[in-house]
């Protein structure tokens, strides 16, 4: 493998700082993966699972205080604070270098520093981008093997000597007191220390593909989004591609590989977490999935909720923080109606039912995309797939209807910018707290969110046929506290309505101040057993509730000052006026 001079120099510099015992360049081969697994089985980083029922599957137990992304320790480091914006943590680059540098100095003493050249996106795509990360965690290397394309394929895709995002990762001492995830968009650089978990440590994912990716995308005129990508096949065989933004642990993986509960309909999986979208020469929006694996939430994944995922994780999967059965199989809440006897919990302790969950609520599986039974034949198309609809979804037990459609692009951007959601176990902190999460990008936008809204608005002029924009909420609850909508496989009924809207079919809608809401009769609820009252409640738009929510939105927008685009402010004012009338 031949790396560029700039890459070699940066690796040498980094080794000078972290002083590892040895430096190993990764080639991404199966032999390398097997060696890493073997080493981790020997030192206890991995436990083998039952190799006859779960071949090639392993269990990793993380440090008990390192189980989710830590947003309070995640920083964007720009020269001017205003470029980071009010919704991100900011640190001056010099200060961050001093602080993280302190944690990194000598951090790899006696250990191996792995150098991982990785490609985000299919080989041969002009939309793909290269990263080179170093790490002292074999678990991170093995995970990067699954989640990205590692080795020569990455180095060959570099368009110039320094055409890569550089990432330094070290486990440090795993203490949250010495943890920091710092992004330097002006230097295409990531420094992450003190966590071995998911988005904190697999630097290709949130740090590169979203935070630095979004900053690069703005400069270069494309979009890097926290979105799944699917192809929805209708009974005539036509496939309509959609991308959907939803906050962490709010349904992307589930929708990405949903098994349609409607005859003749089928959903093809392109991606489950991140979409990079470009406008092509014809003015068509096209999307690639930069990843090559899924890092999916385990709890509630079952043959009932997500049969494709359940089948997919039966081989070649690394599980993190799930429970273990006496026969050496993984288990998590929801996998089976009753927990098997004799479980060890995610920390390896005997588990007693009725106490805390056996699997950590943010326990995950890491598995190659090709193993997904519903994987799209086009998932690695270098041209990407043509996107006809964009969806913004969030987790709200109240206020937000099951589905509605924006009037136009600007209105859709407004609806996305207005999104709020209830927090989940994917982030350290309180679960179930309502917070603003525009376009599901609050923790992932690598620059000023006001500029991000403007960038979205500006895309329209380059789109000859802009995608339709939709808002969904699978999580609205009735007065009895139960979900009003069955969700999962039945979400395809909502996708069907969207496809009908996109393809120009006649569907009955109500025009409301927030957009077009389908009449209950427009949704295919055949065989669902939902009462008209339930469906009506799921779709209800309440002026009083909305006026309150929009007041809160006004305050959120205020912090952007002059960086809030006028069209967004105007949309909010108009919507309030219409509700008040």
Interface residue list for ligand SPV (CB under 6 A):
69, 198-199, 205-206, 248, 273, 295, 426
The upper half-sphere exposure of residue 578, i.e. CA atoms within 13 Å in the direction of its Cβ, equals 15
Restricting to residues 445-474, which ones interact with ligand GTP according to CB under 6 A? 474
Q: Is 412 in the site for ligand GTP (CB under 6 A)?
A: no
Task: Say whether residue 291 binds ligand GTP (CB under 6 A).
Answer: no
246 binds, among ligand SPV, ligand GTP, Mn ion, none (CB under 5 to 8 A by kind): ligand GTP
Q: Which does 471 bind (CB under 5 to 8 A by kind): ligand SPV, Mn ion, ligand GTP, none?
A: none
Mention every residue, 6+ apart, whose C-beta is less than 8 A from residue 25: 1, 3, 115, 117
Q: Which stretch binds Mn ion (CB under 5 A): 71-79, 273-281, 283-291, 510-518?
A: 273-281
Look-up of token digits 């059965």: 325
Q: How far is the C-alpha of 561 from the C-alpha of 85, rounded, in Å?
A: 10
- Backbone torsions φ then ψ of 384, nearest 5 degrees: 75, 175
Only segment of 242-250, 315-323, 384-392, 414-422 that touches ligand GTP (CB under 6 A): 242-250
Per-residue b or e along 173-199, where b marks 16 or more CB atoms closer than 10 Å to that residue's CB: ebeeebbbbbbbbeebbbbbbbbbbbb
Binding status of residue 405 toward Mn ion by CB under 5 A: no
**Cβ nearer to ligand GTP, comparing 102 with 303:** 303
Sole window of 243-251, 297-305, 445-453, 509-517 interacting with Mn ion (rule: CB under 5 A): 243-251
Name the minimum Å distance from CB 248 to ligand SPV. 3
69 binds, among ligand SPV, Mn ion, ligand GTP, none (CB under 5 to 8 A by kind): ligand SPV
The answer to whether 246 contacts ligand GTP (rule: CB under 6 A) is yes
Are the C-beta atoms of 209 and 121 separated by less than 8 Å? no
Nearer to ligand GTP, 166 or 255 (CB): 255
Strands 330-331 and 293-297: unpaired
488, interface contact from ligand SPV, Mn ion, ligand GTP, none, CB < 5-8 Å by kind: ligand GTP
H-helix or E-strand spanning residue 233: strand 227-233
- DSSP-derived secondary structure for 327-340: TS-EE-TTSSSSPP
Least distance between ligand SPV and beta carbon 395 (Å): 13
Q: Give the residue at shortest CB distance from ligand SPV.
A: 199
> Does 418 contact ligand GTP by CB under 6 A?
no
| Residues between 255 and 284 with contacts to ligand GTP, criterion CB under 6 A | 272-273
How far is it, in rounded angstroms, from Cα 66 to Cα 75? 18
Q: Which does 491 bind (CB under 5 to 8 A by kind): ligand GTP, Mn ion, ligand SPV, none?
A: ligand GTP
Q: Are 379 and 269 in contact (CB under 8 A)?
A: yes
If DSSP codes are grouped into helix, strand and coil, which group holds residue 340? coil
List the Cα angle 485/488/492 in 5-degree steps: 85
Q: Which helix (H) or strand (E) holds 471?
A: strand 468-472
Nearer to ligand SPV, 129 or 468 (CB): 129
Q: Is 273 in the site for Mn ion (CB under 5 A)?
A: yes
State the DSSP H helix or E strand holding residue 200, giving kind and residue range, or none if neither.
Answer: helix 198-201
Binding mask 477-516 for ligand GTP (x = CB under 6 A): ------x---xx--x-------------------------
Q: Compute how many residues bind ligand GTP; rule: CB under 6 A.
A: 21
d(CA 319, CA 321): 7
Q: Which residue is nearest to Mn ion (CB)?
A: 273
CA-CA distances (angstroms) from residue 112 to 11, 20, 198?
Answer: 13, 6, 20
Closest-CA residue to 541 (of 437, 398, 387) = 398
Cα 452 to chain centroid distance, Å, stands at 18
498 binds, among ligand SPV, Mn ion, ligand GTP, none (CB under 5 to 8 A by kind): none
In whole angstroms, what separates CA 101 from the centre of its chain?
28
Q: Considering CB distances under 5 to 8 angstroms, the limit depending on partner class, which of Mn ion, ligand SPV, ligand GTP, none binds residue 474?
A: ligand GTP
Binding region for ligand GTP (CB under 6 A): 246, 248-254, 272-273, 296-297, 299-300, 426, 474-475, 483, 487-488, 491
Binding region for Mn ion (CB under 5 A): 248, 273
């Amino acid at each position: 493998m031949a790396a560029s001079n700039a890459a070699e120099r940066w690796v040498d510099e980094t080794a000078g700082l972290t002083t590892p015992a040895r430096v190993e360049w990764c080639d991404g081969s199966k032999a390398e993966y097997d060696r890493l697994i073997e080493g981790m089985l020997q030192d206890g980083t991995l436990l083998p699972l039952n190799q006859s029922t779960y071949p090639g599957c392993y269990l990793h137990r993380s440090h008990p205080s390192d189980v989710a992304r830590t947003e309070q320790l995640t920083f964007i480091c720009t020269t001017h604070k205003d470029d980071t914006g009010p919704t991100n943590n900011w640190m001056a680059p010099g200060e961050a270098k001093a602080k993280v540098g302190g944690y990194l100095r000598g951090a790899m003493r006696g250990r191996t520093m792995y150098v991982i050249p990785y490609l985000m996106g299919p080989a041969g795509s002009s939309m793909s981008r290269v990263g080179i990360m170093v790490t002292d965690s074999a678990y991170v290397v093995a995970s990067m093997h699954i989640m990205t394309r590692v080795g020569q394929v990455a180095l060959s895709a570099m368009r110039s000597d320094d055409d890569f995002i550089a990432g330094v990762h070290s486990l440090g001492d795993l203490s949250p007191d010495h943890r920091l995830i710092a992004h330097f968009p002006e230097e295409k650089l990531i420094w992450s220390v003190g966590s071995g978990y998911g988005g904190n440590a697999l630097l290709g994912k949130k740090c590169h593909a979203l935070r630095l990716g979004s900053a690069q995308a703005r400069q270069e005129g494309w979009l890097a989004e926290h979105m799944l990508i699917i192809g929805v096949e209708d009974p005539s065989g036509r496939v309509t591609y959609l991308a959907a933004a939803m906050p962490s642990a709010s349904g992307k993986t589930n929708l990405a590989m949903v098994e349609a509960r409607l005859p003749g309909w089928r959903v093809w999986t392109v991606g489950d977490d991140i979409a990079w979208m470009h406008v092509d020469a014809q003015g068509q929006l096209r999307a690639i999935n930069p990843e090559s694996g899924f890092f999916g939430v385990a709890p509630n994944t079952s043959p009932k909720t997500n049969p494709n995922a359940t089948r997919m994780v039966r081989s070649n999967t690394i599980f993190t923080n799930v429970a273990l059965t006496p026969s050496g199989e993984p288990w998590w809440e929801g996998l089976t109606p009753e927990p098997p006897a004799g479980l060890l919990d995610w920390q390896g302790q005997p588990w007693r039912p009725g106490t805390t969950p056996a699997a950590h609520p943010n326990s995950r599986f890491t598995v190659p995309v090709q193993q997904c039974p519903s994987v799209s034949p086009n998932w690695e198309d270098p041209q990407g797939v043509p996107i006809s609809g964009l969806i913004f979804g969030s987790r709200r037990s109240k206020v937000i209807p099951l589905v509605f459609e924006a009037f136009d692009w600007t209105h859709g951007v407004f609806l996305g910018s207005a999104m709020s959601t209830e927090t989940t176990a994917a982030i350290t902190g309180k679960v179930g707290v309502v917070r603003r999460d525009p376009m599901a990008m609050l923790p992932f936008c690598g620059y000023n969110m006001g500029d991000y809204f403007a960038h979205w608005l500006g895309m329209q002029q380059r789109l000859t046929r802009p995608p339709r924009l939709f808002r969904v909420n699978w999580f609205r609850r009735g007065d009895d506290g139960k979900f009003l909508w069955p969700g999962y496989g039945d979400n395809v009924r909502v996708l069907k309505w969207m496809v009908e809207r996109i393809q120009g079919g006649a569907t009955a809608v109500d025009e409301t101040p927030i957009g077009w809401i389908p009449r209950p009769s427009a949704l295919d609820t055949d065989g669902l057993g939902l009462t008209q009252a339930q469906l009506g409640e799921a779709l209800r738009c309440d002026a009083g509730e909305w006026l309150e929510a929009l007041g809160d939105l006004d305050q959120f927008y205020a912090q952007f000052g002059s960086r809030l685009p006028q069209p967004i402010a105007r949309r909010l004012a108009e919507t309030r006026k219409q509700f008040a009338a």
